[in-house]
Amino acid sequence: MNKNNLNRRSFVKGSAAVVGGILVNPLSVQSSAYVAAKDEIKVALVGCGGRGTGAAVQALSVKQNTKLVAMCDAFADRLENSYNNIIKQITDSDKIDVPDDHKFTGFDGYKNAIDLADVVILTTPPGFRPYHFEYAIANDKHVFMEKPVATDGPGIRKVLEVAEKAKQKKLNVVVGLQRHYHTKYRELMDRIHGGEIGEITSGQVYWNSGGVWTRERQPDMNEMEYQMRNWYYFNWLCGDHIVEQHIHNIDVFNWAKQANPVSAQGMGGREVRTGREHGEIFDHHYVEFTYEDGTMANSQCRHIKGCWNKVGEHIVGTKGRADNTGAIYDLNGKITWKHRDRDDPNPYQQEHDELFAAVDNGDYKYADAERGAHATLSAILGRMATYSGQVVTWDEALNSDLQLMPDESEWGWEAAPPVLPLPDGSYPIPVPGQTKAF
């Protein structure tokens, strides 16, 4: 893909056929590489952390005859822990058949695991996602992959290129932005897009929480192992928490707006989480996203304990507003519609239910990769703005040559990670006004 030919208009136009994760105009059956109903659907798990383990359990909990046949993780101990947790949660032993020679470790074991499956679950740290996605689609596999789908502009461009190949091969791809599979959000968006709050004029989106785990450095760890085990705090692997977690809320506003931001500016830093165990990422970001028609979305994400917490979205229109509780309000604050109180399907399970039903039926229905790239690039755009202190445009972020994730030829336990500690053991921190945006 020639990056110089990419811009926001062509990017949006190329994915306009995909709405809410469901393909509106699928390609002809003749172009399909794999759309055959199967008696047994073989599943491979690539990335055996907590989210990967959960995704595997969900894949094995669908109505279809799914079987876990291969697993891969960088670390053998994490793979075995995941395997044991899956066994504890899946009572039907016939659904798990992962002998020792189907358990792969290291940086390149993912290829062996993917080769054995019909559907692959990609849940490694997101820096690896473009490469794993590329191999899966090249080998005609349906894909469930977690968000975010990359950590930098070059990774986004790779995902977009591979997404087009997935379409041509009619391979289903679901991305773990599970609000798109959540009944409450689906019904809310139907009403927003139907005009119940009028024209969207602004919004507020939040992921403010106390943060996540840290893992202590052990004496026998080299720098690569330390960063791989603490991937959340290194941008080449994670992208910062604005990309890893706040992507959900930014994605919701894009969904409501049916558009992507054209620019962003903001501020952020490390106010509380300043220790070396927190790597190089910020502990707070504030971003103002601007859309083509002038609409602005104000974005907050914070990882600081003891502060006000909120994870959600508010969408403001000319006739009223909507929020993540599943409610619509008029201009006087009166609720005009509320998602009915009922036992909605778990959206984490629902995304697997729908994916495996499509695979089992030989249907091509899901092409989430472009939307996942939309959301990921929006969050990367915000990070670029807060790290640099500059206004950054969508096209600048999309076409950036700033590559955080090393090429696959540079992966290895003895390789030096892209960022190294300073003499005092701390890591270089982005400085607004000095750090290069792209």
The reply to whether 227 and 160 lie within a common domain is: no
The reply to whether 337 and 353 lie within a common domain is: no
| Residues 335-384 pLDDT 10s | 999 999 778 999 999 999 999 999 999 999 999 999 999 999 999 999 99
The reply to whether 12 and 83 lie within a common domain is: yes
Structural domain contains residue 432: no
What is the per-residue pLDDT for 438?
84
What is the per-residue pLDDT for 38?
56
The reply to whether 279 and 309 lie within a common domain is: yes
The reply to whether 99 and 131 lie within a common domain is: yes
Structural domain contains residue 162: yes
264 CB-side CA count, 13 A: 32
The reply to whether 232 and 356 lie within a common domain is: no
How many domains does the chain fold into?
A: 2
The reply to whether 70 and 114 lie within a common domain is: yes
What is the per-residue pLDDT for 16?
38
Q: Per DSSP, what are the bridge partners of residue 144? A: 121, 174
The reply to whether 119 and 191 lie within a common domain is: no
Helical (H) or strand (E) element with 132: helix 129-138
The reply to whether 312 and 337 lie within a common domain is: yes
8 A C-beta contact, residue 376 and residue 240: no
Structural domain contains residue 59: yes
Q: 390 is in which domain, residue-wise? A: 184-344+377-400
The reply to whether 100 and 80 lie within a common domain is: yes
Express the helix, strand and coil content of the chain in percent, nearest 5 each: 40, 20, 40
- Look up the CATH number of the domain holding residue 287: 3.30.360.10
- Look up the CATH number of the domain holding residue 63: 3.40.50.720
Averaged pLDDT in 10-residue chunks for the chain of 438 residues? 41 38 39 54 98 98 98 98 98 96 98 98 98 98 98 98 98 98 97 98 98 96 98 98 98 98 98 97 98 98 98 98 98 96 91 98 97 98 98 98 96 97 97 93
Please give the backbone phi and psi of residue 335, each rounded to the nearest 5 degrees, phi first. Answer: -70, 125
| Residues 211-232 pLDDT 10s | 999 999 999 999 999 999 999 9
Q: What is the pTM of this model?
A: 0.92
Structural domain contains residue 413: no
Nearest Cα to 325, choosing from 192, 188, 178?
Answer: 188
Rg of the Cα trace of the chain?
A: 21
Structural domain contains residue 160: yes
The reply to whether 276 and 390 lie within a common domain is: yes
The reply to whether 114 and 212 lie within a common domain is: no
